[in-house]
Amino acid sequence: MPERDDQTDRDPGQAIKLDRLELAAQAIQVVALENHMSEEMVREQLMSMILEGMSSEDPEDQKRWERIPRAGEMPTPEEFIAFCSEMLGQ
């Protein structure tokens, strides 16, 4: 995972571990198989939901999205799934 330099509002100790990202990628595979979809289609649907969520004008929503560790401007589907699983203690 590339080093992140965009952590101004996020906790620098909150990087997503590689094993979590690998498990998230496996979860995408399972969802794709179970729903007779391609992995790419699952990722596209997740990205659509991420974009919609990040577009919220609600300041509280924006704070929640900023907490998600990510390498780029917005979280990848794997980063989003990994973060959610960590929040749920999985």
**Tens-place pLDDT, residues 14-46:** 566 888 899 999 999 999 999 999 999 999 999
What pLDDT score was predicted for residue 18?
A: 82
CA within 13 Å, CB half, 13? 0
Statement: the pTM of the whole predicted model exceeds 0.85: no
Q: Are 39 and 64 in contact (CB under 8 A)?
A: no
What pLDDT score was predicted for residue 15?
A: 63
For residue 29, give the nearest of 42, 16, 15 by alpha carbon.
Answer: 42
| 64 vs 66: CA distance, rounded Å | 5
Mean pLDDT score of the chain, rounded to an integer?
86
| 61 vs 39: CA distance, rounded Å | 28
Band (77; pLDDT cuts 50, 70, 90): very high
The more confidently predicted of residues 20 and 2 is 20
